[in-house]
Amino acid sequence: MTFAPTPIPSRTQYVLEAIKHAILTARLLPGQALVEAELAAQFGVSKTPVREALKTLAGTGLVVMSQYKGAVVRMVDATMAREVYDVRLLLEPEALRRSIAREASLEAAREALERADSAADKADRSLANRDFHRALYLSCGNPLLGRMLDEIRDQAALVSTVAWAAIPTWEREAAEHREILRLALDGDATAAAAALHDHIASFVRRAFPDDGDGGDAS
């Protein structure tokens, strides 16, 4: 027997999306405290939807909650970034290869790429990029694989937002996305998976180079 997930109340969803957008536009910075009373006053709601929103954001990895310090925006450092991107490297190229092998529609990936190109701010661009990657792996034929990648989507978006604030390389990533999609639409699963692997690896290498490796910071 399967159970449908409990829907999030509308006020909680509104607060959740607003806080997420603030984090992904760097209006709320990594390490910044998220005080329930202040957020409730800002959004004109009680503390209950704020508390529930923060719990949900903690589950996605954007917020860290502690008994003594309360809720704070998650810090992004090289260790955290490499852990998230290592999981992506292990799973995402294979999921894309399977999607192509199943001749899945990639229209959603094309639409997400267009939204990223016309994004109004870093948050919209990051979320569109996240949707682009999801569209590549969602039809891989293994729901568990898709859910595992879904679980780190927000963390990957946070990494990219923090990295872009220091080194704005989104035009380079957009060009790489277009090439990945071209190969996928051509049905070349091996080349598309390899291009995706290189795209993920090169981003984290540029954004968080190993000490002394002389990594490209462009």
Contact residues for 11 (Cβ-Cβ < 8 A; gap 6+): 45, 49
Q: Is residue 152 in a domain?
A: yes
Same domain, 63 and 82: no
Q: Tell whether 43 and 100 lie within a shared domain.
A: no
Give the CATH number for residue 139.
1.20.120.530
Pair 96, 189 in one domain: yes
Domain match, 111 and 19 both: no
- Number of domain units in the chain: 2
% pLDDT > 70, the chain: 92
Domain termination site, one of 28, 45, 73: 73
The band of 8, judged by pLDDT with boundaries at 50, 70 and 90, is low
Q: Give a yes or no: residue 185 inside a domain.
A: yes
Residue 17's CATH number = 1.10.10.10
Domain range for 14 is 10-73
Q: Residues 43-52: contacts with CB within 8 Å, 24+ apart?
A: 43/14, 43/15, 43/18, 45/11, 45/14, 45/15, 49/9, 49/11, 49/12, 49/14, 49/15, 50/15, 52/8, 52/9, 52/12, 52/16
Looking at 73, 88, 109, the residue that finishes a domain is 73
Residues 61, 84 within the same domain? no
Is 1 inside any structural domain?
A: no
CB 28 within 8 Å of CB 22: yes
Q: For residue 126, which of 88, 155, 96 has the smallest C-alpha distance?
A: 155
Domain boundary, last residue among 42, 73, 104: 73
The reply to whether 119 falls in a domain is: yes
Instruction: State pLDDT tens for residues 64-76.
Output: 999 888 999 999 9
Per-residue pLDDT tens over the stretch 96-146: 999 999 999 999 999 999 999 888 777 778 788 889 999 999 999 999 999
Predicted model pTM: 0.81
The tokens for 113 are 């790429």
Residue 186 in domain = yes
Say yes or no: 95 and 193 in one domain.
yes
Q: Is the residue at 214 inside a domain? A: no
151-205 confidence digits (pLDDT tens) = 898 898 889 888 887 777 878 889 999 999 999 999 999 999 999 999 999 998 9
- Together in a domain, 141 and 86: yes
> Within this chain, do residues 54 and 84 fall inside the same structural domain, yes or no?
no
Judgement on whether residues 112 and 173 belong to the same structural domain of the protein: yes
User: In terms of domains, do 176 and 89 share one?
Assistant: yes
Rounded CA separation 21/2 (Å): 32
Assess whether 179 and 159 both reside in one domain.
yes
What pLDDT does residue 142 have? 97
